[in-house]
Amino acid sequence: MPYQSVFRTGLFEGRTVIVTGGGSGIGRCTAHELACLGARVALVGRTHAKLEAVAQEIAEDGGTATVHPCDIREEAQVRSTVGDVLARHGRIDGLVNNAGGQYRSPMRDISTRGFEAVVRNNLTGGFIFMREAFTQWMEQQGGAIVNIIADIWHGWPDFAHSGASRGGMLTLSETAACEWAASGVRVNCVAPGGIASSGFDRYTPEAQSKILDFPPTVPLQRFGTEAEVSGAIVYLLSPAAAYVTGTCVRVDGGTPNNRSSYWTLERARRTEPFEGFHRSVTPELLRRPG
């Protein structure tokens, strides 16, 4: 069964889209959806084997993807990677800045080195990729950039380093949307909430217990799917979003809207997830008994 996208076949025919962090999770899912819609996808990430595995999946499904190993934190590597994508595809129509990560820690225990490492991964690397995509191609040809942030609203306890970097990416995107509009470049963000993905299985047991406590606090009372995030990304890259720039689409089940101090959620009765990704795998954490 192919990817079940809600968008029309051939929507991105002849277009090239870079997806950073394309070897797993939301990046992998988004790459599959874009490829099924006709895009030539340039997969970027640090682990060559993971990128190759996704490229092989896409090829088996009839799509086109190329592999570009790169550490987004390293300026020279990013500059070279953008040049390589242009050499192989001749154009860059979209950039999905998805690569990033964090670890759980109280703010008082985060070292300066740890804080800077997360900021460099989640903010600085994204900035470098945006700038290089713009200066090497989009400044003269236009394009669309989608930056993936997170559910950072009202602060993010135990993830201060990631909250700070994701908040920075939001305002960076708003600034770029203004500065680069004259070049025909749109810049937006997508903010996922609790999304069931392979990332769940990489957290510590303590953090995983917190993850399992999460759905009852969400108005829609479930985790989101990778395909639900991918759908928002694809919309922002599409012609339908031609007048959308400098904004953020939340894909979080309404999480920031639950005022638990004076409101008790009723049981959600009609909240069916959308799962268009035919190769989606439920995280091991969510398959455990009980």
Tens digit of pLDDT for each residue in 20-72? 999 999 999 999 999 999 999 999 999 999 999 999 999 999 999 999 999 99
pLDDT of residue 290: 61
pLDDT of residue 208: 83
Residue with tokens 């101090």: 261
pLDDT band at 289 (very low <50, low <70, confident <90, very high): confident
Tens digit of pLDDT for each residue in 153-201? 999 999 999 999 999 999 999 999 999 999 999 999 999 999 998 778 8
Q: Please list the alpha-helical segments (H only) found in the chain.
A: 25-36, 48-60, 75-89, 112-119, 125-133, 139-141, 160-179, 205-212, 226-237, 284-287
Architecture per CATH, domain 16-254, reads as 3-Layer(aba) Sandwich (3.40)
Residue with tokens 């089940």: 253
Indicate if the pLDDT at residue 263 is higher than 80. Answer: no
Indicate if the pLDDT at residue 16 is higher than 70. Answer: yes
Tens digit of pLDDT for each residue in 205-245? 887 888 888 889 999 999 999 999 999 999 999 999 999 99
Tens digit of pLDDT for each residue in 134-151? 999 999 999 999 999 999
pLDDT of residue 163: 97
pLDDT band at 271 (very low <50, low <70, confident <90, very high): confident
Tens digit of pLDDT for each residue in 79-120? 999 999 999 999 999 999 999 988 899 999 999 999 999 999
User: What residue ranges do the domains of the chain occupy?
Assistant: 16-254
Phi/psi-derived region of residue 259, left when phi > 0, alpha when psi is between -120 and 50, beta in every other case: beta
For residue 66, give the H/E element and its range: strand 64-69
pLDDT band at 277 (very low <50, low <70, confident <90, very high): very high
For residue 53, give the amino acid letter.
A
